[in-house]
Structure 1
Amino acid sequence: MPELKALSFDEIKGQDRALGILLKAQGKARLPHAYLFLGPEGVGKETTALSFFWRLLCEGKTACGKCVPCAKFLRGNHPDVEIISPASKSLKIEQIRALEAKLYFRPLEAERRLILFPDAEAMTREAANALLKSLEEPPPYNLFVLVAKSTEGLLPTIVSRCQIVRFRPLPQKILEQVLVERFGLSEEEAKGLSCLAEGSLGRALRLAERGFLEELSRFVKAISTGKPSQIVAVAETLPKLKEDLPLFWEMVLVWLRQGLLSHLELDEFPEMLPEKPPRDFVVPAMERVQQAFSAIQMNLNQEIFLLELLTFLAELWRKALHAEVSPVGARAA
């Protein structure tokens, strides 16, 4: 297990309700045998699970960072912590079998063995059924924490054996604060990323790492100017995002949605985002961009698809802009 970058509960922002549930359970010293942490990706579920483990292992139950159990945990070599991550793309029955071989033995050093499934939705059906047996008749001295985005990918019987703790998207202001204070981003960049990340710190960091704000700006400039050279350049660049391409399209949809909310006077358009799209552009553009997700799944030639998409969006932008400035367009608005 690699060295862990765990946080104290005081450092976890925007999840006060979830932390309160865990602190109350720890205070009573009567923990359930299994938790299910549910919520969007990147909002702190796995971080909170590790931080909870840290508190439980600490001699003073405070995550002091100074005692021997804390040191072992933070180094990633505490013998009573098990992190069961997917092997390749799925979590297999062999991994559950290997875990089961340990469950009926007492923990080596701690009061209980702490077992984390950071991607419970990746379990195969065979693995899930095997785990279910341990959850139905839980061996003593073990605490399971399953992490998932929703219950849809889990067996209902597994869900029913766990105490559910829900995690919410982070408020935009808190996300901005974390990006600036913990990760050293500029306030301007943090505002832009927090708007696009929809409450997910993990998503904001991925956007920052891949320079997605700049990619979005180039995308918008290409379709707003309609210049063929810029359209071709963007069509050649975007496929290089590879596995992050779906995230880029999600970001485009967020930009379009912010434009729609602004035109409906339900929200202000964030000034740190690229140019606001014309009103008549937004809805048909959303419908066309949705096709990008299907194109990725169908393994179409991305460059050809993007050339067609960008050309269509550029023409749609031109027509929508013309409608806004023409007398007919003005009366329609």
Structure 2
Amino acid sequence: MQFKEIIGQDTLKRQLIKAVNENRVSHAQLLLGPEGSGSLPLAVAYAQYLSCEDKQPDDSCGVCSSCRKYQKLMHPDLHFSYPFFAKHKDDTALTFIEQWREAFIANPYINLDIWRGYLDAENKQANINIAECHQIIKKLSFKPFESKYKVLILWLPEYLDKEGNALLKVIEEPQPNTLFILVAQNQDQILNTILSRTQLIKVPTLAYNDIKDYLITRHHQTETAAAEIAYLSNGNLTDALRMLQHDAKSYHALFVQWLRFCFANKGLDVLTFVEQTAKMGRENQKNFLRYGTNFIRECCLILADAITMVHLPERELDTAKKMASVMNIPKAQAIVEELEKAHYHIERNANPKILFLDVSLQIIKILNLKTIPTGNHYIPN
């Protein structure tokens, strides 16, 4: 994988390339970034650049023998470790390497749910077991075979239990030219003994414009559709790609219409809306609620006189200003809480018709009857 294939993260790409060119490559590094930020493809592109036989100023060449093998994830000096769903105690990452190559090549912005879909996971819990730790030690005990560096990329070290302490020696005192790259999402869940032995590199969430431009140029989305998906994804490209697999539609008009029905307390129109949303399918229902949550939060920024921080297309911004005129921050926060609870229950297969009716009634109470639902911490108007 080349750096040019990775969305955004230009500053970090330059930082990694500079470290290689100045011969400042730490033997143990931790790329820490949220899901969908591109930490894993960055690690692979970085390893490919290290091994490239004809490095360019801003990327690997992509055509040398080493690069061609990296593109297929079949270089003899490139190794992977990752959580898996072991059927036998002696299973290791190598047992599932073919599935791993297929999954990563199909989508470098893979997450654990996507990875689970490539395996016969059943109800097993993902982990990185002691057999895999011993396999890592074995892999890294040999000198590089073809390239200057032998690289092991460990995805999601959060799934290393206390058995991970077996890796401390190989991390702290590796063989010459052996590089250990950890790719993580949650620093607090990593063993402190491992964390303290790595150089931390923080990977930020992707910028709104990076995701929007990617959806337009690579997936041929319209400006409006790309803007809405980028807005909903909150910097998570994995989420953005998932949304592409479902019906492309604008949630803005439907959500604003819903709020207007609730504000005017139009019972029959609310019932029509409930019937409509109940037929949308769960993924679209979740995306709709997520859009609503984000939209109301933008209204809160307007109410707090932080208009410069609002990130909405012009048409939606105008609507948000009008909506902000009929609510205050406690009301907006109460609506957000109802939408978040609804999203939680949709994920857990709640009946959508009953759920959206209940949420509609709560929003009517908040907007029309000016009543903050009891049981929360918001101050009523």
What TM-score, normalized by structure 1, do the two folds share? Answer: 0.79
2:213: which partner in 1?
A: 177
Q: Within the alignment, does 1:131 sit opposite 2:131 as a pair? A: no
CA distance in 1, matches of 2:234, 2:350: 30
Pick the aligned partner of 2:188 from 130, 146, 152.
152
Label 1:208 to 1:220 Cα distance change in 2 as closer, same or farther (>3 A). Answer: farther
Q: Within the alignment, does 1:66 sit opposite 2:66 as a pair? A: no
Q: Within the alignment, does 1:234 sit opposite 2:228 as a pair? A: no
Q: CA deviation at 1:87?
A: 0.6
1:257: which partner in 2?
A: 297
Matches within 5 A, 1:39-78: 39-62=33-56, 63-78=60-75
2:22: which partner in 1?
A: 28
The one-letter code of the counterpart of 2:21 is G
Which stretch shifts more, 226-235 or 66-75?
Answer: 226-235
How far does the alpha carbon of each residue in 1:209-232 deviate from its partner, in whole angstroms, 9 at most, with x for none? 334754565455445435213213
Gaps of 5+ in 1: 1-5, 321-332
In the alignment of these two chains, the number of paired residues is 310
How far does the alpha carbon of each residue in 1:51-103 deviate from its partner, in whole angstroms, 9 at most, with x for none? 11111121113421111111111122212212222214523213222222211
SS in 2 for 1:279: coil
Matches within 5 A, 1:262-301: 262-267=302-307, 268=310, 269-271=312-314, 273=316, 276=320, 277=323, 278-280=326-328, 281-292=331-342, 295=345, 299=348, 301=350
2:363: which partner in 1?
A: 313
CA distance in 1, matches of 2:188, 2:315: 36
Label 1:241 to 1:294 Cα distance change in 2 as closer, same or farther (>3 A). Answer: closer
The one-letter code of the counterpart of 1:7 is Q
The one-letter code of the counterpart of 2:175 is P
Label 1:264 to 1:149 Cα distance change in 2 as closer, same or farther (>3 A). Answer: same
Gaps of 5+ in 2: 86-124, 262-268, 371-380
Q: Within the alignment, does 1:107 sit opposite 2:148 as a pair? A: no
Q: Within the alignment, does 1:37 sit opposite 2:31 as a pair? A: yes
CA distance in 2, matches of 1:273, 1:44: 29
Label 1:272 to 1:115 Cα distance change in 2 as closer, same or farther (>3 A). Answer: farther
SS in 1 for 2:146: coil
The one-letter code of the counterpart of 1:252 is G
CA distance in 1, matches of 2:215, 2:340: 29
Q: CA deviation at 1:292?
A: 3.6
What TM-score, normalized by structure 2, do the two folds share? Answer: 0.70
The one-letter code of the counterpart of 1:182 is R
SS in 1 for 2:339: helix
CA distance in 2, matches of 1:215, 1:113: 48
2:223: which partner in 1?
A: 187
Could you tell me whether the CA contact under 8 Å between 1:218 and 1:234 is conserved in 2? Answer: no
CA distance in 2, matches of 1:130, 1:216: 52
Pick the aligned partner of 1:162 from 174, 195, 198.
198
